[in-house]
Amino acid sequence: MFFNNVTKGAPDVMYHLKVRADGDMTPEKVDLGVGIYRNEQGVYNEMKVLRDAKDTMAAANPDHDYEVTTGIASFLKNAAKIVFGKDSSLLQAGRVASVQTISGTGAVHIAFLLLSRSVPGMSKIAYVGTPAWGNYLPMLDLVGLKAKTYRHYDPKTGSVDWESVLNAVRTAEQGSTFILQACCHNPTAADFTKEQWQILAQEMKKRQLFPLFDIAYQGLGNGLEEDIYSVRHFAEQGFEMLVCQSFSKNFGLYGERVGAVHAVCPTADITAAVHDQLRFLIRTEFSSSPAYGARLVDIVLSDPAREVVWRKELDAIYERLQGNRAKLFGLLNNVYKTPGDWSIITKGTGLFSLLPLTPAQCTELQDKYHIYLVNTGRVTISGLNERNIDYVAKSIDKVVRQS
């Protein structure tokens, strides 16, 4: 017998929540759990620009050979421009090693693996601000990096716990990594202000800390260019760093697994070495990335006219998210006058909001009202629409008043 001592894996709250929500067939069901953009009709939102790219690709009928280990060169160039900007001097100087990955999760994994195995002398400590995306800690553990946590968020103010962040940076072990979400923080929606990013860069430089940016929601916060401010600012300040990029949300390509990791290096020669280490890691892990979604992204980003359409469609998405925030806040604060401070809803940006609800209140919303949210209070703002937003606000009001 070989497998008899195997125990179950660590539970994944998101998985169980989705299974429960999918199995609930009551008409009043509202799914605010899964981190996917839903449109006003409450369903998957296929961007028009994507539909058009699919037609173009179908007409071209490309073959299905493997792509090279490091990914589609043209896709990677375009992806890097979205991060660093079209006129980036770093890109012109050949100082960014970019490789394709299995979406954002794969980018984070390969980035962690690089730090843990392929960078001689690298500290094995990575700092994570909490609450955080639930995957960071197990993923760090998987590659043998040691996580240290600090408080990112202050529930009392609904904003970044700036004191705690500064303290973590100022006392961090020199050379260690800081995992930073560039925008639309998951799960708190509390991002750093531009001024805070500037101070963070100064402080991190003083202690020679290494930034690892995770950007899974570029364009869903305040627009594509605004959302990438932090990465570009750190790049301008001369940091070496890793940037993990996902196209799941901003292209609506969740299942296609489209992403990239970009390593900013001091010279073109070093960039070539880092690129080659990434190639080696990818070869031994999954050999090459899926082609379909990356080809679609490449069709859009290689054509300035299509890129304009994509940007407009993305702007409409973030504007709708902000509209939903304003409506939910208005209902709770002004219409139902629900006890509590709901201003955190409009303070945040992106797909999520961390509502000030207890786990028991969240459970009641699920069990009694068929409203599915994470029991930390995290809701996916795009799941709200004209048909359900009043029901959600009214239900929250009842649950808060009863407890």
Per CB under 6 A, residues contacting ligand PLP are 35, 103-105, 108, 133, 181, 186, 214, 216, 246, 248, 259
CA atoms within 13 A on the CB side of 35: 25
Residue 80 to residues 14, 74, 133, 137, 250, Cα–Cα distance (Å): 30, 10, 23, 27, 15
When the beta carbons of 210 and 247 are compared against ligand PLP, the nearer one is: 247
Alpha carbon distance 339, 100 (integer Å):
48
Q: In a 10 Å sphere around its CB, with 0-12 CB exposed, 13-18 middle and 19+ buried, how is residue 140 labelled?
A: buried
- Which helix (H) or strand (E) segment holds residue 189: the answer is none
Cβ burial, residue 217 (10 Å; 0-12/13-18/19+)? buried
Distance of closest approach, residue 68 Cβ to ligand PLP, in angstroms: 21
How near is the Cβ of 186 to ligand PLP at its closest, in Å? 4
Residue placing its CB nearer to ligand PLP in the complex, 177 or 248: 248
- What is the CA 194 to chain-centroid distance, rounded? 19
C-alpha 18/C-alpha 34 separation (Å) is 6
Q: Which is nearer to ligand PLP, 126 or 396 (CB)?
A: 126
Q: How far is the CB of 6 from ligand PLP (least distance, A)?
A: 26
- Rank residues 36 and 125 by Cβ distance to ligand PLP and give the closer one: 36
CB of 269 to ligand PLP, least distance (A): 31
Residue nearer to ligand PLP on the CB measure, 139 or 331 = 139
Alpha carbons 401 and 403: distance in angstroms, whole number:
6
| CB of 259 vs ligand PLP, minimal distance in Å | 5
242 versus 393: smaller Cβ distance to ligand PLP: 242
Instruction: Indicate the residue among 69 and 103 with the shorter CB distance to ligand PLP.
Output: 103
CB-nearer residue toward ligand PLP: 36 or 270: 36
Q: Give the Cα separation of 183 and 348 in Å (integer).
A: 10
| Residue 345: φ, ψ to 5° | -65, -40
Residue closest to 83 by CA, chosen among 191, 185, 182, 205: 182
- Least CB distance from residue 216 to ligand PLP, whole Å? 4
Using DSSP, how many helices (H) and how many strands (E) does the chain show? 17, 13
The secondary structure of 237-256 as a DSSP string is: TT--EEEEEE-HHHHT-TTT
CB within 8 Å of 296: residues ≥ 6 apart: 50, 53, 54, 57, 251, 253, 256, 258
Q: How far is the CB of 254 from ligand PLP (least distance, A)?
A: 6
- Angle (CA) 229-231-237 rounded to 5° is 100
* Minimum distance of ligand PLP from residue 214's CB (angstroms): 5
Query: Which is closer to ligand PLP, CB of 238 or CB of 255?
Result: 255
Vertex 382 angle, CA 376 and 385, to 5°? 115
**Least distance from ligand PLP to the Cβ atom of residue 13, Å:** 13
- Nearest residue to ligand PLP, scored by beta-carbon proximity: 104
- Residue 305: how many other CB atoms lie within 10 Å: 8
